[in-house]
Structure formats: structure tokens, C-alpha cells
Amino acid sequence: MSTLPPCPKCNSEFTYEDGGQFVCPECAHEWSAQGAAAVADEGAKVYRDSAGNVLQDGDTVSVIKDLKLKGSGGVVKMGTKVKNIRLVDSDHDIDCKIDGFGAMSLKSEFVKKV
């Protein structure tokens, strides 16, 4: 059984290795062996809380330390539960609504999955 990856262009399983390159005999596409390994390691970003648990959309989390809010001078207290989080790819990982504060963004390092 061949352990070579299928062609990324035409999905053919008949690829072969030529030096440091993979070659597809059906569509003549060539790609590097190092690039194929990088693509295999690449995947969806995994979001983790402060304890290392994997977070998903819709989870309920708890704030692990008091968080000062910029602009309003309020504080989100430690232990505040946040329901139905939404994970986003930005500088803050979590978009959510907190009762009494409204919509805000949190970093996953300051929450723990409940």
C-alpha cells in the first residue's frame, strides 16, 4: 500500500516521488514533499481555555479572574458564567453577551469551560 499523498489538483492516487518532489502522472502536477507535510499538519484552529480544554461554539464558560472593561470602568467579576459563546479568529478568541454588560470579546486564556 502506498503512503504517498494523492494529487492535490486532481486527487489521483497514482502519484510518485521524484527527488524531493511528488509528481502526478495523470495531470502532470508537481509539488514539494515539504509542502505536502505542511498541508497535512494544517487544519482548523483549535481554541483552548486556561485549563487546556477544547472550546467549541455554544459552550458555557466561566471567567477565571476579574477583568477590567475599557471605556466603561466596569469589572467582569471572577466566576461570571458566559453562555453560548462564539469562537472567532481575531485578537480576542470569543464573542459573547454577558448579562449586565452586553456584547463583548474575551480571550480564551481568561476563561474555563464549565
Number of Cα atoms under 13 Å in the Cβ half of residue 36 = 18
Type of residue found at 111: V
Q: What is the mean pLDDT of each run of 10 residues along the chain (114 residues)?
A: 77 85 87 60 76 92 93 90 93 92 92 94
Q: Is the pTM of this model over 0.95?
A: no
Strands, DSSP E only, in the chain?
16-18, 21-23, 30-32, 61-63, 67-68, 75-76, 81-82, 86-87, 94-98, 102-106, 111-113
In this prediction, residue 81 carries a pLDDT of 95
In this prediction, residue 41 carries a pLDDT of 45
In this prediction, residue 1 carries a pLDDT of 42
Distance CA 92, CA 106 (A): 5
In this prediction, residue 40 carries a pLDDT of 47
In this prediction, residue 7 carries a pLDDT of 84
